[in-house]
Amino acid sequence: MAQIHLEQSHSLGLPRARAIAAHWMEQAHSEWGMQCALQSGEEEDVIRFSRSGVQGQLRVSATQFALEATLGFLLGQFQARIEAQLRSNLQALLAPSPDGQA
């Protein structure tokens, strides 16, 4: 099975990071058909996600997003493409907007 591990540091703080993670979770569900479950914590939230051929989690803290995913046999053949898309998506969500807000 293919593994994906992405980490993206940020300086948003936990409340803003949670808002971005909620948007990511909605996007994962609507665009990729993921079933998502949120586990909130005092210092970190964990979003567990799955669908046929993939399962993983996104850890969200005040300073970092860390995504880990395991791809099944069929999706594993597209690991590089999937990893690049996930990285691009996460960077776009964390990019500052024109008004200076991430």
pLDDT tier at 98, thresholds 50, 70, 90: low
Query: What separation in angstroms does the CA of 82 have from each of 32, 39, 52, 54?
Result: 11, 25, 15, 11
pLDDT tier at 90, thresholds 50, 70, 90: confident
- Asked if residue 20 is part of any domain, the answer here is yes
Which residue range(s) make up the domain with 77?
Answer: 2-91
pLDDT of the residue at 62: 96
The token duo for 15 is 């409340």
Residue 97 above 90 pLDDT?
Answer: no
- Asked if residue 26 is part of any domain, the answer here is yes
* Number of domains, the chain: 1
Residue 81 above 90 pLDDT?
Answer: yes
Alpha-carbon distance of 19 to 15, in angstroms, equals 6
pTM, 2 dp: 0.87
